[in-house]
A = this chain, B = another copy of it.
């Protein structure tokens, strides 16, 4: 079985990092097909970059989805998530969606620690759209950049742990998500310094993908996530135009 891992930003190093972190989690017989966005911003840290990434994500699916058994939309904030769920015949899991649902089983209220201050309001909106707004304690945007982590991992860990402890105490969070592809694999090193569970968003998403693989739900033929009606288009990648024309 094959999982299409879509990194909808355009930085291949981030895709590679996730592939590295996820490899040990793959059961026998399950392979990853990692794909980086063909166009868009290097990193997604604004509404504009996220809007572009929604398009890039569905193009990636149109281009590479054939023969895959599930889609893992691997950008914390999940640009294009509902469009993919509508368009794909296979299960689609978003990294932020899966992380928040996982956090909701571990605590009454959870927080997100991530990088990029513009993500504060964007993630509040995203979590509210999941219906979990009332269970979100806070979004702390103090994470180091990938470059900073590489340069001085110990300081990065200390900084992240401090942010987790802060939101646990100040906001009453019973669990904290380390959100973002760039933080892949750090939760395990942060956990010893924090009193409440620390969740790695990359791994939480992967667990949800594997669970969905084990029980692929029927594609609905009615309702919100049924295939959309065929529609002509112009100016799109050939694969995307084809899928819109004959979903």
Contact = CB atoms under 8 A, between A and B. Distances in A.
Interface in A109-131: 109, 118, 120-121, 125, 128-131
Nearest to A195: B222
Copies of this subunit:
6
Given A52-B58, A80-B51, A197-B218, A10 B235 contact: yes
Contacts of A168: 222-223
Given A196-B222, A218-B191, A234-B10, A101 B105 contact: yes
A205 to B, nearest CB: 11
Size class of A's contact patch? 35 or more
Nearest 5 CB-CB pairs, A to B?
A39-B235, A46-B228, A195-B222, A174-B223, A55-B55
Given A118-B228, A133-B131, A228-B48, A207 B218 contact: no
Contact of A132 (B52, B86, B108, B132): B132
Contacts of A32: none
